[in-house]
Amino acid sequence: MALASVAKVVLGSLAFGVFWVLAVFPSVPFMPIGRTAGALLSAVLMIVFHVISPDDAYASVDLPILGLLFATMVVGSYLKNAGMFKHLGTLLAWRSQGGRDLLCRVCVVTALASALFTNDTCCVVLTEFVLELAAERNLPAKPFLLALASSANIGSSATPIGNPQNLVIAFNSKIPFPKFLLGILPAMLAGMAVNMVMLLCMYWKDLDGSSSPIDVDGKRMEAVEEGAGAHAGVEPSPKLQLGSTNGGSGYMSPLMTENISTKHPWFMQCTEERRKLFLKSFAYIVTVGMVIAYMVGLNMSWTAITTAIALVVVDFRDAEPCLKTVSYSLLVFFSGMFITVSGFNKTGLPAAIWNFMAPYSKVNSVGGISVLSIIILLLSNLASNVPTVLLMGGEVASAAALISPAAVVRSWLLLAWVSTVAGNLSLLGSAANLIVCEQARRATRNAYDLTFWQHIVFGVPSTLIVTAIGIPLIGKINI
Q: What is the pLDDT of residue 36?
A: 85
Q: What is the pTM of this model?
A: 0.74
Q: Do 246 and 430 contact (CB within 8 A), yes or no?
A: yes
pLDDT tens digits along 207-248: 876 545 444 444 445 545 454 444 333 333 333 333 333 434
Q: What is the pLDDT of residue 370?
A: 92
Separation of alpha carbons 178 and 295, rounded Å? 5
Residue 96 belongs to some domain of the structure: yes
End-to-end CA distance of the chain: 34
Q: What is the pLDDT of residue 214?
A: 44
Give 413 or 216, the one with higher predicted confidence.
413
Q: Do 415 and 393 contact (CB within 8 A), yes or no?
A: yes
Residue 469 belongs to some domain of the structure: yes
pLDDT tens digits along 267-292: 555 567 787 888 888 988 998 898 88
Q: Do 111 and 187 contact (CB within 8 A), yes or no?
A: no
Mean pLDDT of the chain: 81
The pair phi, psi for residue 297, each rounded to 5°, is 95, 15
Q: How many CA atoms lie within 13 A of 75 on its CB side?
A: 29
pLDDT tens digits along 159-195: 998 888 998 899 889 999 999 999 999 999 999 999 9
DSSP 422: G
Separation of alpha carbons 456 and 430, rounded Å? 13
Q: What is the pLDDT of residue 267?
A: 52
The number of helices, as runs of H, and strands, as runs of E, in the chain is 22, 0
SS3 content of the chain, % helix, strand, coil (to 5): 70, 0, 30
Cα 196 from chain centroid? 20
Residue 270 belongs to some domain of the structure: no
Separation of alpha carbons 156 and 110, rounded Å? 9
C-alpha distances in Å from residue 314, one per residue of 158, 212, 275, 281, 309: 31, 43, 11, 11, 9
- Alpha-carbon torsion angle 472, 147, 181, 172, nearest 10: -90
Q: What is the pLDDT of residue 216?
A: 43
Residue 332 belongs to some domain of the structure: yes
Q: How many CA atoms lie within 13 A of 62 on its CB side?
A: 21
Query: Would you call 48 helix, strand, or coil by DSSP?
Result: helix
When mean pLDDT is compared across 92-96, 389-393, 430-434, the lowest value belongs to 92-96
pLDDT tens digits along 341-371: 889 888 888 878 878 888 888 888 889 999 9
DSSP structure string for 192-230 = HHHHHHHHHHHSTGGG----------HHHHHHHHHHHHH
Q: What is the pLDDT of residue 235?
A: 34
Nearest alpha carbon to residue 152 among 98, 199, 114: 114
Residue 214 belongs to some domain of the structure: no
Tell whether the model's pLDDT for residue 116 goes beyond 70: yes
Q: What is the pLDDT of residue 324?
A: 84
156-189 burial: b if 16+ Cβ within 10 Å, else e: bbbbbbbbbbbbbbbbbbebbbebbbbbbbbbbb
Q: What is the pLDDT of residue 51?
A: 93
- Sign of torsion, CA 233 325 72 56? negative
Long-range CB pairs of 306-314 (<8 Å, 24+ gap) are 307/71, 307/75, 308/70, 308/71, 308/74, 308/75, 310/286, 311/74, 311/75, 311/78, 311/282, 311/283, 311/286, 312/74, 314/279, 314/282
Report the number of distinct structural domains present in the chain: 1
Q: Do 118 and 161 contact (CB within 8 A), yes or no?
A: yes
Q: What is the pLDDT of residue 215?
A: 45
pLDDT tens digits along 449-469: 888 888 899 999 999 999 999
Residue 237 belongs to some domain of the structure: no
Residue 155 belongs to some domain of the structure: yes
209: left (phi over 0), alpha (psi -120 to 50) or beta: beta
pLDDT tens digits along 15-63: 988 988 887 677 778 888 888 898 899 999 999 999 999 999 999 898 8
C-alpha distances in Å from residue 54, one per residue of 45, 104, 336: 11, 51, 13
Q: What is the pLDDT of residue 53?
A: 94
pLDDT band at 89 (very low <50, low <70, confident <90, very high): low
Q: What is the pLDDT of residue 264?
A: 54
Separation of alpha carbons 118 and 81, rounded Å? 16
Q: What is the pLDDT of residue 243?
A: 37
Q: What is the pLDDT of residue 261?
A: 39
Q: What is the pLDDT of residue 268?
A: 52
Residue type, 255: L
Separation of alpha carbons 479 and 476, rounded Å? 10
Q: What is the pLDDT of residue 196?
A: 96
Range of the domain at 137: 6-207+325-473
Residue 265 belongs to some domain of the structure: no
pLDDT band at 447 (very low <50, low <70, confident <90, very high): confident
Q: What is the pLDDT of residue 445?
A: 79
Kindly report the length of the chain: 479
Q: What is the pLDDT of residue 395?
A: 84
Separation of alpha carbons 343 and 58, rounded Å? 11
